[in-house]
Structure 1
C-alpha cells in the first residue's frame, strides 16, 4: 500500500473510473478525476438525490452500491476511489477494480470495522493507495486544484440559509434523508 497519493494523479485519459460515496469528499474526488479525462466516471451512492450533484461534478453515471456489486460493474474499473467511509465500502471499491487496477482508500472512518480480505487484494493484483498521513505537498496540490478550477466548491452547495438559521442548517446535515451536502449561511 502507498500512502499520501492524490487520486487525480492516478487517473489517465480514457480510463474507467468509479467513486464510491457521493458526499463532500467523493464529489470533490469526482471533480478532480473528471479533469483527468476518463472515458467513464461512475459515482456509487445509495441516495438517488446525489445523482444530480455527481453529474454536476463530472460523473457520467450514478449507481447504487447494490448495482455496483453486480455484473457488469464488478472488476470493471481502472481506478476506484473509496470516499464513503461506510462499513463495506472499502471491500466494494476493491471489488470494482479490474485486475491490476488501482484503488484509493480515502473515506475510511477511524472507528468501525472495514474488513478487507487479503486475497481480494492479492489475487486481482490491485495497487492500493491511502490518503491518510498525506505529505504537506498534498495540501499545496489541493490549493492549486481549487485555483485552476478543477475543484468547484459551489457545486457542492445544496442549500442557502440566513445565518440566523444555523441550527436548521445543522439539523439538515444530520438528517440522513436530506439531500444536504454543504450549506451556505448568508449574513
Structure 2
C-alpha cells in the first residue's frame, strides 16, 4: 500500500506501508481523493503545527473520500463499493467535554494525520485505510467526490460560524482568504450575513473569496474603501497570522465578537488586550468540529457555491509537487491528491 508520509520538516516521502485490514467495529476504505490542509503543509514545511511536532514518521491527510473496501468481523455498515467520506475524529466519549456535547475539544481524541499525541495518529493519504464504523458517512448519490472532499474543511468553517452566534443581518470580517476563510465566507452568506468582507495579502485568494460569496474584498496591506469604513459586528480570524488577529480586534465594534480560527504560531503572540477589555469584546476559540460533518455533506449536496476553492489535483506519486503548489497562495487554494491510481 502506498502512502504519503512526513518524516520531518521538508522530508516528504511516498512509501510502501503494510496493511492488515479492518478489525471488529472497523471499516476499510479505498481512498479516492484527499485534500491537502494547512496543517498538512505545516507538518511538511516546518515539522509541526502550532505546539504539535512530528516525532515519528506519520501518514498525512484527514480530508478524504473513497469507497467501502471491506467490513471488519461482525461490523455493520454500508456495502462494499459504497461512496463514503470519513469523519477524521474519534473522541473518547467519556470525559467531561464529551459529556457536555463538546466532543471537538476532547483532550483524548484521536484525529487522522495528527501529531498531537504519541504514537501519532496515522492519516488518510494512503490507498487503503481503516476507521471506526461510526466515522463512516455514506455520500448522497448526487454528490461528486471533488465536492465531497471539502466536507472536512467545510465542517471547520461551520463550527467557526456556529461559535460566532447569530450572523443573520450582521456585518462580518474574515481575515485570510485561504480555503478555510473562503468556506467560512460561503457559510456566512448561507446563514444570511448582510455583509461579508474578506481581507488577504494576495489577489488570487480574494478572487476565490468573491466567487464564494464575499460582498467585498480588501487587500490587507492597503485596506480602505467603503467596505472598510465602518466597524464590524463579528470578525473571524482565519489566517493564523498575528497581524490578522490584530486586525480583527481593531476592526470589530464595541461589544463585538472575534472568533479565533486560524492556528497561530507557537509560543506567545501579541494581543491588544486593553482594546479587548475596554470595548468588552468576546474572543471565542473555534477548534475542529463534531456533528457539523453531516451538515457539511448536506450543504455540499445542496450546491453550496464552493467549487472555485478547488484549484489543482495531483496523483499521489506527485505529492511533493502538490504540497509545493499548495504552499503558493498566489497560484493555489485547495489542492487535492488523487489516490485512485496508487
> Would you say same fold, with TM above 0.5?
yes
Q: Greater share of strand residues, 1 or 2?
A: 2
Asked if the contact 2:313–2:337 (Cα under 8 Å) also holds between the matched residues in 1, the reply is yes
Return closer, same or farther for 1:184/1:152 CA change in 2, 3 Å cut-off. farther
| TM-score (normalizing by structure 2) | 0.47
Measure the CA separation in 2 of the matches of 1:101 and 1:107. Answer: 19
Measure the CA separation in 1 of the matches of 2:335 and 2:227. Answer: 36
Measure the CA separation in 1 of the matches of 2:327 and 2:296. Answer: 29
What are the Cα deviations for residues 116-146 of structure 1, in whole angstroms up to 9, with x where unaligned? 12211011221111014x6xxx321243133
SS in 2 for 1:95: helix
User: Which consecutive unaligned segments of at least 5 residues does structure 1 have?
Assistant: none
Looking at both structures, which has the greater relative contact order when contacts are Cα pairs under 8 Å and sequence separation is at least 6? 1
Q: CA deviation at 1:152?
A: 6.1
Q: 1:168 aligns with which of 318, 321, 340?
A: 321
Partner of 1:73: 228
Q: 1:39 aligns with which of 194, 203, 207?
A: 194
Return closer, same or farther for 1:167/1:7 CA change in 2, 3 Å cut-off. closer
Q: CA deviation at 1:43?
A: 0.7
Partner of 1:125: 280
Q: 1:55 aligns with which of 183, 207, 210?
A: 210
User: Is 2:294 aligned against 1:139?
Assistant: no
In the TM superposition, 1:6-45 aligns within 5 A as 6-9=159-162, 10-45=165-200
Higher mean displacement: 78-87 or 150-159: 150-159
Q: Greater share of helix residues, 1 or 2?
A: 1
Taking only aligned residues, the RMSD between alpha carbons, in angstroms, comes to 2.8
SS in 1 for 2:228: coil
Asked if the contact 1:90–1:108 (Cα under 8 Å) also holds between the matched residues in 2, the reply is no
Higher mean displacement: 77-86 or 147-156: 147-156
How many matched pairs?
180
